[in-house]
């Protein structure tokens, strides 16, 4: 029988969206599936040793994406999403996939349905409309001019209106395409698909009324396929090891200050810059590289310091290691809400970064057995989830549910 075509489309505004799709693509059996992968340029190193058919597409730049988050503005305007839809349609026509898998490619909400191709969306559970959240004000202009005690309640008051404004661009494109509005709930806009897969576990993000086409698959872990630095095998073993990275969407400029904050502690720090910043004055107790194998680094560490996003925090928790998240955008705050509620981490604000507070938090977490115990409990929960196996099962389920008269998944229009 001919192999089924699976098309992955990653919105390359951060490395995480490319890496997550890439990891799941690699789990598919090549004897059964022909894998196609579309994303913007700039991530060639991620595709080392892969045999996917690659397609170039347009994404807004990481700088534009991060700037919109920092200002609290909608990430996309109507013209950009309309252009995405047209580009998606051309790509879907060329590839003719049996299933399309998108990671933050919001335009697939329209284009996949127009092309009558079953659509799987990958996202984190804290963006689900079926997860109850208590929102914390992220780093936006409001926090630059007001004390947090005032900015936080104002943000909660204005958030529904702000989220509604963020839904307008996609809903306007849907309306012009003759499709119904998704309403003013940004969480629904972010998760609209035939199948929505959460790269999380419900034990950290409690859900209510989850429909059958929304599934938890567990953490999706990825590390860059690069050689380790020369010093990797020569690290001291007589003191705690801390793995630090602020990621591709974190506050990279804080890395030198964070390293300096830990310079006087009896720890060894290994840090990855994600290629975002040059650290010229490295403390004696630290080692720095552009990229490190995050899974291996987390397993060797007693503590992980990151931007609070799900990729690195999940690497830490899979290894049973607690996390300090220095968060800036709302995605990071929402992720750390689940981690801190479980007792496996601590949250610091990037816009109120205090080196002394970081050092104190590190000392406190290393001295207490509770965070490590909670992290090991989460690791035990994570071990019950095989994201690749669950993903494969869902792809197979979709393909067997497609009737001969339609390429749409039955029941999901």
Give the span between the Cα atoms of 348 and 346, in whole angstroms: 7
- Domain positions in the chain: 4-218+385-401, 230-382
Give the span between the Cα atoms of 9 and 105, in whole angstroms: 7
Q: What is the pLDDT along the chain (413 residues), one digit of tens a residue?
A: 789 999 999 999 988 999 999 999 999 999 999 999 999 998 888 898 899 999 999 999 988 998 999 899 999 999 999 999 999 999 999 999 999 999 999 999 999 999 999 999 999 999 999 998 889 999 999 999 999 999 999 999 999 999 999 999 999 999 999 999 999 999 999 999 999 999 999 999 989 999 999 999 999 998 877 889 999 999 999 999 999 998 765 577 899 999 999 999 999 999 998 877 888 899 999 999 988 999 999 999 999 999 999 999 999 999 999 999 999 999 999 999 999 999 999 999 999 999 999 999 999 999 999 999 999 999 999 999 999 999 999 999 999 987 544 444 433 33
* Residue 163: other Cβ atoms inside 10 A: 17
pLDDT of residue 58: 96
How far is CA 24 from each of CA 95, 199, 314, 323, rounded to the nearest angstrom?
19, 11, 16, 25
pLDDT tens-digit map of 174-229: 999 999 999 999 999 999 999 999 999 999 998 999 999 999 999 999 887 788 99
Q: What is the CATH number of domain 230-382?
A: 3.40.50.2000
Q: What DSSP string runs through 1-27?
A: -PPEEEEEEE-TTSHHHHHHHHHHHTT
Instruction: Decide the pairing of beta strands 99-103 and 214-216.
Output: unpaired
pLDDT of residue 163: 95
pLDDT tens-digit map of 343-378: 999 999 999 999 999 999 999 999 999 999 999 999
pLDDT of residue 401: 87
pLDDT of residue 410: 37
Residue with tokens 């790269």: 199
Q: What is the CATH number of domain 4-218+385-401?
A: 3.40.50.2000
Give the span between the Cα atoms of 335 and 197, in whole angstroms: 16
Which 8-state DSSP code applies to residue 397? H
How far is CA 154 from each of CA 162, 167, 245, 279, rounded to the nearest angstrom?
12, 20, 31, 37
Give the span between the Cα atoms of 171 and 288, in whole angstroms: 45
Q: What DSSP string runs through 162-213?
A: HHHHHHHHHHHHHHHTT-----S-HHHHHH-SSEEEESS-TTTS-BSS--TT
Q: Which residues pair with 37 in a beta bridge?
A: 8, 54
Beta strands in 47-180 (DSSP E): 53-56, 99-103, 119-123
Q: Are 189 and 182 in contact (CB under 8 A)?
A: yes
Same fold, 4-218+385-401 and 230-382: yes
Which 8-state DSSP code applies to residue 134? -
Which 8-state DSSP code applies to residue 402? B
Length of the chain measured in residues: 413
Give the span between the Cα atoms of 275 and 248, in whole angstroms: 8
pLDDT of residue 48: 84
Residues 6+ apart with CB under 8 A from 405: none
């Amino acid at each position: 029988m001919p192999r089924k075509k699976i098309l992955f489309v990653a919105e390359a505004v951060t490395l995480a969206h490319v890496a997550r799709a890439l990891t799941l693509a690699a789990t598919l059996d090549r004897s059964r599936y022909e894998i196609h992968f579309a994303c913007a340029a700039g991530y060639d190193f991620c595709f080392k040793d892969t045999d996917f058919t690659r397609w170039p597409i347009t994404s807004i730049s990481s700088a534009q994406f991060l700037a919109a988050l920092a200002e609290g503005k909608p990430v996309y305007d109507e013209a950009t999403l309309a252009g995405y839809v047209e580009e998606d349609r051309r790509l879907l026509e060329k590839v003719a996939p049996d299933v399309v898998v998108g990671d933050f490619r919001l335009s697939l909400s329209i284009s996949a349905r127009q092309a009558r191709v079953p659509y799987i969306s990958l996202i984190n559970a804290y963006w689900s409309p079926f997860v109850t959240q208590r929102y914390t004000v992220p780093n936006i202009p409001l926090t630059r001019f007001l004390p947090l005690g005032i900015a936080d309640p104002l943000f909660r008051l204005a958030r529904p209106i702000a989220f509604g404004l963020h839904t307008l661009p996609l809903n306007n494109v849907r309306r012009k395409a003759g499709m119904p509005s998704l309403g003013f709930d940004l969480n629904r806009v972010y998760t609209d698909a035939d199948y929505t897969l959460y790269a999380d576990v419900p034990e950290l993000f409690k859900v209510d009324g989850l429909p059958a086409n929304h599934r938890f698959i567990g953490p999706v872990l990825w590390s860059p396929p690069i050689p380790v630095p020369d010093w990797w095998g020569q690290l001291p073993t007589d003191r705690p090891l801390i793995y630090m990275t602020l990621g591709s969407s974190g506050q990279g400029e804080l890395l030198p200050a964070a390293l300096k904050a830990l310079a006087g502690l009896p720890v060894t720090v290994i840090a990855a810059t994600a290629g975002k910043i040059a650290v010229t004055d490295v403390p004696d107790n630290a080692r720095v590289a552009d990229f490190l194998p995050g899974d291996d680094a987390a397993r060797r560490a007693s503590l992980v310091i990151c931007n609070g996003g799900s990729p690195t925090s999940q690497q830490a928790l899979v290894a049973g290691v607690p996390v300090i998240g220095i968060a800036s955008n709302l995605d990071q705050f929402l992720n750390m809400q689940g981690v801190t509620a479980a007792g496996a981490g601590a949250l610091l604000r990037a816009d109120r970064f205090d080196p002394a507070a970081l050092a104190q938090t590190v000392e406190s977490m290393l001295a207490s057995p509770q965070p490590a115990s909670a992290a090991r409990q989460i690791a035990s929960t994570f071990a019950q989830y095989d994201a690749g196996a669950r993903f494969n099962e869902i792809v197979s389920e979709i393909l067997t549910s497609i009737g001969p008269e339609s390429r749409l998944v039955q029941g999901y229009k």
